[in-house]
Structure 1
Amino acid sequence: MGTGMYGARNLRGRRHRVAVAAIAVAMALGVSACGSDDDGKGGSAGAEKNGRASAEPSGTQARDEARLKAASFTDGESVGTYTASEYALGGPLGDAYTAEPAGCQPLVSLAAEVSDPDPTAQVQRKADVPDEMLGVTVDVTLRGYGNGGAQTVMKALGKAGTDCAGGFTEQRTVARAKYLKVEPAKAPAFASEADESKAYRFTILDVKGKEKLYEYLTVVRSGSTTLAFRAEISSTKDIGGVPPQIMAAQWSKFRAAKG
């Protein structure tokens, strides 16, 4: 993606690397602290404090993740004019991204630790045109939930779309982004095949407070799984929505894997 006056707000890859670096430092400090624990219990104490983040995946989680991977784009897969790929360091918009007020959180990130309920499994992919440094990038995230969690998430997303229509703030590790407006966007053509869907257009102020940028979010639910698509571009261009060929291709692959 691009650089220049839009970079600090719209380059989620760069923002993610900063967040990963901060997490890596924190982890290194944590390992050092555990190593210096005289009674040798530092590791287990840290695991208790970190809860889910420190726990080994359960059999159910492993199965859910395998199911989502089978239904997701593969690394290097062609999607129309786009190419899908895996995130080398994990996808953007993770637990380092929160919203103010908190009720707007579903519009920012549904990752574990910042979303309620947590997904039982999550798989993220990226779709873009590799040679277009300033082109469109779409984050594609499949999440599995238990005990009606997917319905709860969609309800919270719909409420956030209404309550936060006048704007809110996205809080990140090293910066803040001001959302000026949240508006409904057009649902994908296959939405009638899904259990429910939500689509939004975001107007966001760049970090210099001078330019308006536009992003789109579409989330589709099928049973206990949500498919989320977030599209952005490193310019002031309004792309008009998440590229339909990406959503249609992912939906088709998901349905085929589901059988």
Structure 2
Amino acid sequence: MRRTDLRRTAVAAVAVASLTLLVGACGADKPAADAPAAGAPSGGASAKQEEPGKQEEPAAKALSVAELEKLALAQGDVTTYMVTKGTKADEAVAGSVKSDKPECKPLVDALSAIPMGQPGAHVLRKAIEKPAKMKVDPGASAEEKAKAGLGALTQPITAERLASYEGKGAQEAFATLEKAGKSCAGGFNGEQDGEKLKITKVAPDTVTGGDQAQGWTLSMAGDGPDEQDVVMKLAAVRKGGTLATFYTISLGGTVKAQPTPVIEAQLKKLG
């Protein structure tokens, strides 16, 4: 399986997060004073459904990029992850993302960290889960530090797209992705920057918090008959007029769980 072809964001996350953050920030394991503990509860306990007689949410006002940057995750916000900003090199060109089934394109967009719908502003974050033993001796050689960084290459990597919408845009964007998850349960073919991917299954996955939340487990076929499927995770959480999508992969091939600490930390910053 050509795992370096899975997604440009993921590859860049490995290069930047695991090598720069892991090696350069080794030993920085102390949580920030205001950092949420791993597994700490978020503002919402579950995906909220519209209740009979419940007052409709007011139309949202889209935030600016500067405002979103203040709300987006930063290094130190998640004690068990390293976080960095996305760069231009991580951005997929919207026109390069395709699907053989139009109803499934929102999923390909989400796997490419392309925002849903028409947000007023959006920012990108990358997070890599710290290895159980990530500390490196400050006196270690450059070679030893590089080796430690390379040892993190199979750690789960999450690309988060945080987007803010005007009016009911966030609800509509969430609904679009939710519908695609149901319509494409049997799989689909996709393409990003000329690289092909074959998703064989899309299964619902439990994600809680915010005003709406949903997760999915996606299986991607290997290149040959002896290659196992690559298992990825996707999640979407809406809080008011802001929608966050989280795409998680591992160059080791299988992601076993949603990045719950990352999702909860983001929800805490959204308030």
TM-score (norm. length: structure 2):
0.66
State which of 180, 183, 202 in structure 1 corresponds to 2:218.
202
Amino acid at match of 1:169: N
CA 1:102–1:115 in 2, change beyond 3 Å: closer, same or farther?
Answer: farther
State the alpha-carbon separation in 2 of the partners of residues 14 and 204 from structure 1: 15
State which of 261, 264, 270 in structure 2 corresponds to 1:245.
261
State the alpha-carbon separation in 2 of the partners of residues 13 and 139 from structure 1: 7
Q: Is the 8 A contact 2:110 2:247 kept in 1?
A: no
Offset at 1:146? 1.6
State which of 160, 163, 169 in structure 2 corresponds to 1:149.
169
CA 1:251–1:128 in 2, change beyond 3 Å: closer, same or farther?
Answer: same
What residue in structure 2 maps to residue 225 of structure 1? 242
State the alpha-carbon separation in 1 of the partners of residues 103 and 115 from structure 2: 10
Q: Which runs of 5+ in 1 are unaligned?
A: 18-59
Q: Which runs of 5+ in 2 are unaligned?
A: 14-60, 131-148
Give the match's secondary structure for 1:79: coil
CA 1:104–1:250 in 2, change beyond 3 Å: closer, same or farther?
Answer: same
Give the match's secondary structure for 1:70: helix
CA 1:98–1:176 in 2, change beyond 3 Å: closer, same or farther?
Answer: same
State the alpha-carbon separation in 2 of the partners of residues 120 and 180 from structure 1: 33
CA 1:240–1:94 in 2, change beyond 3 Å: closer, same or farther?
Answer: farther
Give the match's secondary structure for 1:109: helix
What residue in structure 2 maps to residue 27 of structure 1? none
State which of 249, 254, 257 in structure 1 corresponds to 2:270.
254
Q: Is the 8 A contact 2:221 2:228 kept in 1?
A: yes
Offset at 1:141? 1.3
State the alpha-carbon separation in 2 of the partners of residues 14 and 253 from structure 1: 24
What residue in structure 2 maps to residue 128 of structure 1? 128
Q: Is the 8 A contact 1:77 1:85 kept in 2?
A: no
State the alpha-carbon separation in 2 of the partners of residues 216 and 14 from structure 1: 13
Count of residues in Structure 1 that have an aligned counterpart in Structure 2? 201
Where in structure 2 are the equivalents of 1:45-194 lying within 5 Å? 64-74=64-74, 76-77=75-76, 79-93=78-92, 95=94, 96-109=96-109, 117-129=117-129, 131=149, 132-188=152-208, 191=209, 194=210
Offset at 1:15? 6.9
State the alpha-carbon separation in 2 of the partners of residues 252 and 115 from structure 1: 21
What residue in structure 1 maps to residue 136 of structure 2? none
CA 1:247–1:116 in 2, change beyond 3 Å: closer, same or farther?
Answer: closer
Give the match's secondary structure for 2:265: helix
State the alpha-carbon separation in 2 of the partners of residues 185 and 213 from structure 1: 16
TM-score (norm. length: structure 1):
0.69
Give the match's secondary structure for 2:88: coil
State the alpha-carbon separation in 2 of the partners of residues 103 and 253 from structure 1: 32
Q: Is the 8 A contact 2:181 2:216 kept in 1?
A: yes
Q: Per-residue CA shift, 1:68-126, capped at 9, x if unaligned?
A: 1110012x3352221100123253555132322111122121599x7763111111100
- Between 1:202-211 and 1:131-140, the stretch displaced more is 202-211
Cα RMSD of the aligned pairs, angstroms, is 2.8
Higher share in helix: 1
Give the match's secondary structure for 1:108: helix
CA 1:215–1:253 in 2, change beyond 3 Å: closer, same or farther?
Answer: same
Q: Is the 8 A contact 1:221 1:227 kept in 2?
A: yes
Of all paired residues, the percent bearing the same amino acid is: 23
Q: Per-residue CA shift, 1:115-143, capped at 9, x if unaligned?
A: 76311111110001473122110111110
- Between 1:240-249 and 1:207-216, the stretch displaced more is 207-216
Give the match's secondary structure for 1:242: coil
